[in-house]
Amino acid sequence: MRPSLKALYDREAMQRCKQAAHYHCERCDTPNDPGTGHTLTAAHLDANPGNNERWNLAALCQRCHLHFEGYNPFAGVTEDNYNYVLTRCERWFIPHLKGYIQNQTWGHHPGESGEPGDKEKVTKRKGEIE
């Protein structure tokens, strides 16, 4: 690994990520056990070591980590298909994907109404008052 790349890694964030997963692989639930060769790692899902946002870091065993080498799971997720991707992706990946979506310019931000049924509810309530 190039030293310049290594400097980008946020060791504390990676440690917090593994802690939050209770030292189990988020994907296959294998516990961290370096003695038996099962070392838990913190993976940068978008392959950018400078992106240490919680949603981008996943506690993965080496085997699962390898699965994402050279493969960005966020690639191809767009404004048009993210709802579909959310319903089809692996369960452990959902919070990561939601974080990714919220960080996109087209993503829903806190406080914004994204519920399709909201407008209808408001109209109905108005009708009740009249």
- Residues at the contact surface with Zn ion, assessed by CB under 5 A: 25, 27-28, 30, 61, 64
Q: Which two tokens stand for residue 6?
A: 């290594």
Give the shortest CB-100-to-Zn ion separation in angstroms: 20
Give the shortest CB-43-to-Zn ion separation in angstroms: 10
Cβ-based nearer residue to Zn ion, 91 or 125: 91
* Contacts by 116-119, CB closer than 8 A, 24 or more apart: none
Cβ-based nearer residue to Zn ion, 59 or 101: 59
Give the shortest CB-93-to-Zn ion separation in angstroms: 12
- DSSP-assigned letters across all residues of 34-61: GGGTB-EEEEETTS-TT---GGGEEEEE
Give the shortest CB-29-to-Zn ion separation in angstroms: 7
Cβ-based nearer residue to Zn ion, 9 or 92: 92
Cβ-based nearer residue to Zn ion, 67 or 108: 67
Task: With H, G, I as helix, E, B as strand and everything else as coil, classify residue 78.
Answer: coil
Cα(24)–Cα(27) distance, integer angstroms: 9
The residue type at 43: A
